[in-house]
């Protein structure tokens, strides 16, 4: 576990780390995790092989603790040094009775507790007894006191301390959609404008061609008139010549 912690630190000081994932590193107890991790908010120790929580450090800002798929049967009193804990996952452990859960009543902020696949869950009146034991508890094994399933989105917000973030994200998405619509409208207007310009240009070219054709026709008519005027003296001369021969 110590080597894994050093690896996950990635050159950072313990006080700078807010989230630490130690899943699947093998250890029967907590080793190498110290009180220096004062700002740690999320700690994951899934499938580590823990048989107890001996050596669990004082983590005053810890909010989420993942301990599923271990072999923990007692020692939950060692968690009381993390009073801000809101989410605790103990599913897949060896907790056999509700007495083991007694230390959890000290947590005033605990809202989500998962004990799925522990022997304690088959105790008669298990759910109601746990809700009575921990007054702050909102969800037990994913359901509230009325057996209503937890809202995954709302639960995630509570787990990560992101209340209201989803609304902000939706607002940002709406703003992005509006910007996209405006861009589409601008593109559409630009296309119409360009199309009108092309139509106007084609009409101007067509009118210009018609004017040129009319000008050509006028020129041809003028040329014919000039040709006619030039022919007339020659014809006059020819008539005089014919008249002279007749005399």
**In which residue are the tokens 């799925």 written?**
116
246 located within any domain: no
CB 46 within 8 A of CB 24: yes
139-140 β-sheet, strand order: 19-21, 42-44, 64-66, 87-89, 112-114, 139-140
Regarding whether 94 and 189 lie in a shared domain, the answer is no
141 located within any domain: yes
Q: Which of 134, 162, 190 is the last residue of a domain?
A: 162
Angle at 88 between CA 82 and CA 93, to 5 degrees: 120
DSSP-based three-state secondary structure for 60: coil
247 located within any domain: no
Regarding whether 212 and 108 lie in a shared domain, the answer is no
**244 Cβ neighbours under 8 A, 6+ residues apart:** none
* Domain count for the chain: 2
What's residue 150's pLDDT?
Answer: 85
Q: Which of 115, 138, 162 is the last residue of a domain?
A: 162
Alpha-helical (H) ranges within 115-164 are 126-133, 152-160
> Could you list the pLDDT tens digit for every one of the 247 residues in the chain?
999 999 999 999 999 999 999 999 999 999 999 999 999 999 999 999 999 999 999 999 999 999 999 999 999 999 999 999 999 999 999 999 999 999 999 999 999 999 999 999 999 999 999 999 999 999 999 999 999 998 764 444 444 444 444 445 555 555 555 555 555 555 555 655 556 555 555 555 555 555 555 555 554 555 555 444 444 444 444 444 445 444 4
235 located within any domain: no
The packing angle between helices 165-246 and 152-160, to 10°, is: 110
Regarding whether 197 and 107 lie in a shared domain, the answer is no
Say which CATH number the domain at 56 has: 3.80.10.10
E-assigned strands of the chain? 19-21, 42-44, 64-66, 87-89, 112-114, 139-140
Regarding whether 94 and 52 lie in a shared domain, the answer is yes
Regarding whether 158 and 168 lie in a shared domain, the answer is no
Regarding whether 153 and 45 lie in a shared domain, the answer is yes
The whole domain housing 135 covers 2-162
CB 35 within 8 A of CB 13: no
> 143 — phi, psi (to 5°)?
-135, 150
191 located within any domain: yes
CA–CA separation, 143 vs 153, rounded Å?
A: 14
62: phi > 0 → left, psi -120 to 50 → alpha, else beta; which?
beta
139: its two tokens: 């969800």
Regarding whether 109 and 8 lie in a shared domain, the answer is yes
């Amino acid at each position: 576990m110590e080597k894994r912690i050093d690896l996950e630190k990635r050159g950072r000081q313990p006080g700078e780390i807010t989230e630490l994932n130690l899943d699947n590193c093998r250890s029967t107890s907590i080793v190498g995790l110290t009180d220096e991790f004062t700002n740690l908010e999320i700690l994951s120790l899934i499938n580590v092989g823990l048989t107890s929580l001996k050596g669990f450090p004082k983590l005053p800002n810890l909010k989420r603790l993942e301990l599923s798929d271990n072999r923990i049967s007692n020692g939950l009193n060692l968690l009381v040094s993390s009073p801000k804990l809101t989410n605790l996952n103990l599913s897949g452990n060896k907790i056999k009775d509700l007495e083991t859960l007694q230390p959890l009543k000290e947590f005033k902020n605990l809202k989500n507790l998962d004990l799925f696949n522990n022997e304690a869950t088959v105790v008669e009146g298990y759910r109601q007894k746990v809700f009575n034991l921990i007054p702050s508890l909102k969800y037990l094994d994913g359901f509230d006191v009325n057996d209503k399933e937890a809202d995954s989105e709302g639960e995630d917000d509570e787990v990560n301390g992101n209340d209201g973030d989803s609304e902000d994200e939706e607002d940002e998405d709406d703003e992005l959609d509006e910007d996209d619509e405006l861009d589409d409208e601008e593109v559409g207007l630009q296309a119409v404008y360009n199309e009108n310009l092309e139509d106007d240009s084609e009409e101007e070219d067509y009118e210009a061609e018609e004017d040129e054709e009319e000008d050509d026709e006028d020129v041809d008519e003028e040329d014919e008139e000039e040709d006619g005027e030039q022919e007339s003296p020659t014809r006059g001369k020819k008539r005089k010549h014919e008249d002279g021969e007749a005399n």
